[in-house]
Amino acid sequence: MVANDQRSSASTKVEQMRAEGRVEFDLTSPPSRAEAGLPEGSREVVYELLDRGPFQVRVLLPEQRELDFPVRLAVFDTMDAPDPRTGPPTTLDLHHYPGSLAAGRDHLLAAAAEFGIDPAPIHQWYDTASQGPPAQGPSTVRTLWLSTRVGYLQLEIQGRYAPPVDTPESDQTVIHYSLTWQVDGADRG
13 domain residue, yes or no: yes
pLDDT (tens digit per residue) in 60-75: 999 999 999 999 999 9
Which residue range(s) make up the domain with 150?
2-180
If one counts the domains in the chain, the total is 1
pLDDT (tens digit per residue) in 28-45: 999 999 999 999 899 999
pLDDT (tens digit per residue) in 52-109: 999 999 999 999 999 999 999 999 999 999 999 999 999 999 999 999 999 999 999 9
Q: Based on the number of CB atoms within 10 Å of its own CB, is 181 exposed (0-12), middle (13-18) or buried (19 or more)?
A: buried
First-to-last C-alpha distance (Å) of the chain: 34
Q: Based on the number of CB atoms within 10 Å of its own CB, is 17 exposed (0-12), middle (13-18) or buried (19 or more)?
A: buried
Q: Rounded to the nearest 5°, which phi and psi values hold at 92?
A: -130, 125
189 domain residue, yes or no: no
Q: Among positive and negative, which fits the CA dihedral 157, 158, 164, 170?
A: negative
188 domain residue, yes or no: no
